[in-house]
Amino acid sequence: MEVSRIIAELDAQIAKLQQARALLAGTTAPAAGRGRPKGSKNTSSASTATAPRKRKLSPEGRKRIADAMKKRWAERRKQNSKS
């Protein structure tokens, strides 16, 4: 076995034992997980400039969708009453 591999395995075991000790002592160390750290802010202004805008539905479009759904529900009710 290579010395560097043995050292890596020992470091892994030490890290596990330290984490277990911290849990038992009640002082949990911050876990190094995926993603952006909690509380950090996105300082990139380029990403906010290219963010998609929220779409707004016009009253006419909303009415069209509502009428189509009412028609669909009426057809469903008609099919269920025949059964």
**pLDDT tens digit sequence for 43-78:** 665 555 677 888 899 999 999 999 999 999 999 999
Domain assignment of residue 4, yes or no:
yes
Which residue range is the domain that position 1 belongs to? 1-29
More confident: 30 or 4: 4
Average pLDDT, the chain: 84
Domain assignment of residue 47, yes or no:
no
pLDDT on residue 29: 55
**pLDDT at residue 42 tops 90:** no
Q: How confident is the model at residue 26 (pLDDT cuts 50, 70, 90)?
A: confident
Domain assignment of residue 11, yes or no:
yes
Burial 27-50 (b: 16+ CB within 10 A, else e): eeeeeeeeeeeeeeeeeeeeeeee
